[in-house]
Homo-oligomer: A and B are copies of this chain.
Amino acid sequence: MYQKHVIHKLLQLAFEEDVGTGDVTTQAVLTGDEVGKASAVAKADVVVAGMDVFKEAFLFMDQTIQFIGHCEDGLGVQKGNILAEISGNLSSILTAERVALNLFQRMCGIATLTRRYVDEVKETGAKILDTRKTAPGLRYFDKYAVRIGGGTNHRFGLYDGILIKDNHIEAAGGISYALDRVYRHLPHTLKVEIEVKNLQELEEALTAGADVIMLDNMTVEHMKKAVEIVNGRVPLEASGNVTLTNVKQIAETGVDFISIGALTHSVPASDISLKIE
């Protein structure tokens, strides 16, 4: 996933933020000449995501560092396993450690959580979607991790997907008006998704030609009805209050997509630590 124009920009920011004018502890305690080897160890079960970014963080600090990844993105690794080995100048490794881990742990955390949702719905045809509710500045990485976890990306920003929400509908004067205006203005590469709150709005959106319909905060019962009504004509996305507890039930209604903000806005970081040998 290495894309220089994205990764280097973030690493520059992250090193300015964490290292700033220098790692005073390491500069004081080490001579700067010590070499050594560190292992990144999973302290909990983890779905690995961001191994390339983890590597780039160390190389950004010091290009002479040797990095050996023990697994590829997407692999589920059990607690206690070594994910990667980093060797070379010890001061460089210690100074880069936190920047590298903060990003890697977040990405693994997102992939791990996503995988749990994906596993829950694996016997249905539903796909797990992310949202734009990501940490500011990290969307590229957050959404990459969702894909690695088995999820599917919704639009990346306001620029690459149409999603007409209730506020847009009100401003346009109704669902059909909103859809009518959209179809006159937009790139033909984009589909048009619209949010509906109930079955009546669903019917209106279908009639007006929406490409995708989001069922906003509907009950499971209503979702089932919606699936019947639509009958495969357009994909349906369930949204709102999805949890690990109810996601399977929602998937079994027959909706095509289930979007979950918590995948990226409330994700626990994976527990990974760096041990110097």
- Where the two chains meet, the residues of A that have a C-beta atom closer than 8 Å to any C-beta of B are 3-6, 9-30, 34, 36, 38, 60-61, 90, 94-95, 98-99, 101-103, 105-106, 109, 129, 132-140, 143, 152-168, 170-172, 178, 181-182, 184-191, 193, 211-212, 235, 237, 256-257, 261-262, 265-269, 276
Contacts and interface: CB of A to CB of B under 8 A. Distances in A.
B18 A132 contact: yes
A28 B161 CA distance: 12
Nearest to A38: B167
A215 to B, nearest CB: 14
A189 B160 contact: yes
A25 B189 contact: no
B189 A24 contact: no
A241 to B, nearest CB: 10
B158 A135 contact: no
Contacts of A98: 132-133, 158
A60 to B, nearest CB: 6
A245 to B, nearest CB: 16
